[in-house]
Amino acid sequence: MSLTAGSDFTVDSLGLDAIDGGTSVLLTGEDSDALEAVFYRLTAPQTDEIAVLLATDAAGRSVKQSLSRAERGADDRAALLTCEGPAQGDDVRTVDDVSDLTGLGMEFSTLLAEATGEVDDFRAGILLCSTIMGEVEDTRSVYRFLNSNFLSELRRSKALGVCAVDTSADIGSDVNSTITGMKTSFSAHVEVESTGRNQARLDVSDLPGDDDAVDVSW
Amino acid sequence: MSQRTVLCVDTAPDVETISTAVSTEESLTPVEATSVTEATEFVESEAVDCVVTEYDLEDGSGLEIVGALREEQPQTPVVLFTGTRPGEIDTASFEEMVVEYLNRDLPDAADRLGFVVDDVITHSAQVGFLAPDDEGSRLEALSEYDVDGMPIEESFSRLTDLIASHFDAAVAFIGLIEEEKEDFLACTGADWDSLTREDTICTHSMLQEDVMVVEDINEDKRFANNDKLQNLGIVSYAGANMTTDDGQIIGQVCLIDHEPRHYDEAQKQDLQDFADTAMEILDLRQQLLDARTVEVDT
C-alpha cells in the first residue's frame, strides 16, 4: 500500500495552468457568487475524473446544475454530500446537521472511498468551510476535520482539493487571522475578488506558473 | 524507526483481525482490548500512538473510547474500523469528535488498515490545529537548539520579568513550540511548564507574520471553548514570533492578562523587539555551547 502517483488537473475555464495532483487550494473571497463560480470551475471533473464535493449551503440538484454550467457533463461524474435538500440515489447523500463533524467526516470519507474506488483521479471540495466554522462550537474540531477527512485524503490520493471560505461570513473568530493561519497548511491560495457581473480577479499564490493576478469571466 | 503502540479494540473473537492487520506495518505494535471499559482504562493509564476500534462493542460504542481518549490524550488519532454505516452510527453525543472512518467490509480494508494507521500517526492527522506546510523544516530548525544543555533559564526569567513589568501584564512567558506541545522556558506571573499544542494560542500566533492579539478569547471560537485556557485564567493574549536566521518560527514571546485588553501598534512593536531579543539570546547561548563543544573535542 502506498501513495498513488497522481496526475495534473486542468482548469482551462479559468485560464490557469494545470494543477499538480496532491495540491490543496484554499479559496477565499467575500462575494459568494464569484466564490462559488470559481469553486465549481476548479472542482468540475474532466472526462476520466470524478468529483467528490461537500456542499453545506446548497441542495444536490443545485450543485449539479452549477457543475454542469462549469463543465458540460461534470454533473454526471460527481458524488455529493449536502447539508440541504433531499438525497438522490448514490450520487447525492445528505447529512442533517452541519455541526455534527463526527457524522460529516465519516460520511465524506465513505463517499470518497466508494466514489474513488475505480477512478484514480479525483477532485474534492468543500463549499463552504466558513459555514461549518460558523456552526461548530470549537474551531479546533474544524481543524481536526480538515486534517483528518480532507488534507489527509489529498496527501494519500494525490487528488486536487479545494476548500472555500466566504470571508464575509461570521465564523466566530477573526477571519483575517484564521485565513492567514489556514494559508500555511494549504499548498496554494486563490483569493477571488468580484470585478463585475460574471467577472472576477483571482489573486493566485503558489500554483504552478500562476503567482499573479488573473482576470476571469464565465 | 521507533515502535508505535496501537490500541486495537473489538470483541474477543474479532480483535485479532485488527491487531493482525496493524502488525503488517513493522513500526506498529498492537495492544488488544475487548471492551469499552478495558480500552478506557488503558488510555487513562498508558500513552498510545493510535487507537483502532470497532463501533459496536459489548458494553458500549467505540465513540465512548474516543471520548475518553480526547480527555487524556487529545492529539492521539483514532481509526473507526467498522462495518456499521455512518448513517447508523449514533453521533448525537459526539458531534465534534472527528475520527478516521474505514469501512471494514470493503474488499481491501484489512490491507489498508496498517497503512492508514501508520499515515495518521506519521502526519499527526487528527490534531486540532493547523501546522505550517514546512513543519518538518521548522522542527529541524528547532532541534538545532540544545536548550537543555545551555544555562538559559535565568536569562529568560529576567527577560520575562522585564516584559511583564513593561506591559504591566499578569503573565509574560517565552515558549518553544515542539511537534506536540509548547515548552515554557520562562514564565513570570504563573507556573507553567508545558501545554499540549492544540490547547495553545501560540500555535495560531506562530502562523501570523505580525504580532497576534486576541483581546478577549471568549469572543473567538478558536479559544472560547478551550477548557485548558479557561482554567488557566487566560482572557487576553498577545504573541510575537521568535524567528531563526533561516526564517523558521520556533517560539513565541507572549503576554497574558486575566481581563480583556487592547494593544496599540507601539506596544506590539515593543513585544516584537522583546521576541527578537529573546531569539538573539538563544542564538548566542547556542553559539557559546557550540564553541565550547569544539574546544573540548580538540
Is the confidence at residue B298, as pLDDT, over 70?
Answer: no
Domain B4-122: give its CATH architecture. Answer: 3-Layer(aba) Sandwich (3.40)
Residue A208 lies in a domain: yes
State the pLDDT at residue B147.
Answer: 93
pLDDT in tens, A21-59: 999 999 999 999 999 999 999 999 999 999 999 999 999
Residue range B235-253: average pLDDT? 98
Residue range B218-239: average pLDDT? 96
Closest alpha carbon within chain B to A151:
B125
Residue A2 lies in a domain: no
State the pLDDT at residue A6.
Answer: 59
Q: Which is the CATH superfamily of the domain at B135-297?
A: GAF domain (3.30.450.40)
Percent of chain B with pLDDT over 70: 99
Angle of CA points A103, A105, A107, to nearest 5°: 65
A35 in contact with B, Cβ within 8 Å: no
Q: Which residue has the cell 473489538?
A: B10
With H, G, I as helix, E, B as strand and everything else as coil, classify residue B254.
strand
State the pLDDT at residue B92.
Answer: 81
Residue A44 lies in a domain: yes
Q: Tell me if B220 and A173 make a contact (CB, 8 A cut-off).
A: yes
Q: Give the residue numbers spanning the domain of A186.
A: 8-217
Are A6 and A194 in contact by the 8 Å Cβ rule? The answer is: no
Q: Under 8 Å CB-to-CB from B133, ≥6 apart: which residues?
A: A184, A185, A186, A187
State the pLDDT at residue A1.
Answer: 42
With H, G, I as helix, E, B as strand and everything else as coil, classify residue B5.
strand
State the pLDDT at residue A211.
Answer: 66
Residue A3 lies in a domain: no
Is the confidence at residue A174, as pLDDT, over 80?
Answer: yes
More confidently predicted of B139 and A6: B139
State the pLDDT at residue A2.
Answer: 42
Selected for mutation to probe chain B from A140, A145, A182 (highest B CB count within 10 Å) is: A140
Q: What gap in Å lies between CA B150 and CA B282, rounded to an integer?
A: 9
A25 in contact with B, Cβ within 8 Å: no
Which positions 129-148 of B are in contact with A (Cβ < 8 Å)?
129-133
Nearest to A177 by CA among B237, B82, B258, B274: B237
Residue range A99-118: average pLDDT? 88
Is the confidence at residue B16, as pLDDT, over 70?
Answer: yes
Are B272 and B265 in contact by the 8 Å Cβ rule? The answer is: no
- How is residue B243 written as a grid cell? 524567528
Domain extent listing, chain B: 4-122, 135-297
State the pLDDT at residue A89.
Answer: 83
Identify each DSSP E strand in chain B by its residue range: 4-9, 28-33, 50-53, 56-57, 60-61, 78-82, 100-103, 171-177, 181-188, 194-196, 212-214, 236-243, 249-257
Domain count, chain A: 1
Q: What gap in Å lies between CA B161 and CA A195, rounded to an integer?
A: 52
Residue A123 lies in a domain: yes
Amino acid type, A42: L
Is the confidence at residue B1, as pLDDT, over 80?
Answer: no
A176 in contact with B, Cβ within 8 Å: no
Give the gyration radius of chain A's Cα atoms.
16
Which positions 100-139 of A are in contact with B (Cβ < 8 Å)?
100-103, 105-107, 109-110, 113, 133, 136-139
Average pLDDT, chain A: 92
Give the number of other Cβ atoms within 10 Å of residue B147's Cβ.
Answer: 17
Q: Under 8 Å CB-to-CB from B37, ≥6 apart: which residues?
A: B59
Residue range B60-69: average pLDDT? 94
State the pLDDT at residue A156.
Answer: 87
Is the confidence at residue A103, as pLDDT, over 60?
Answer: yes
Closest-CA distance of chain B to residue A109, Å: 6
State the pLDDT at residue A118.
Answer: 72
A22 in contact with B, Cβ within 8 Å: no
pLDDT-wise least confident of A72-81, A185-194, A203-212, B268-277: A203-212
CATH number at residue A116: 3.40.50.300
Identify each DSSP E strand in A41-174 by its residue range: 49-55, 78-82, 92-94, 121-127, 160-166
pLDDT tier at A114, thresholds 50, 70, 90: confident
Average pLDDT, chain B: 94
Q: Tell me if A1 and B115 make a contact (CB, 8 A cut-off).
A: yes
pLDDT in tens, A135-165: 999 999 999 999 999 999 898 888 999 999 9
Q: Tell me if B129 and A143 make a contact (CB, 8 A cut-off).
A: yes
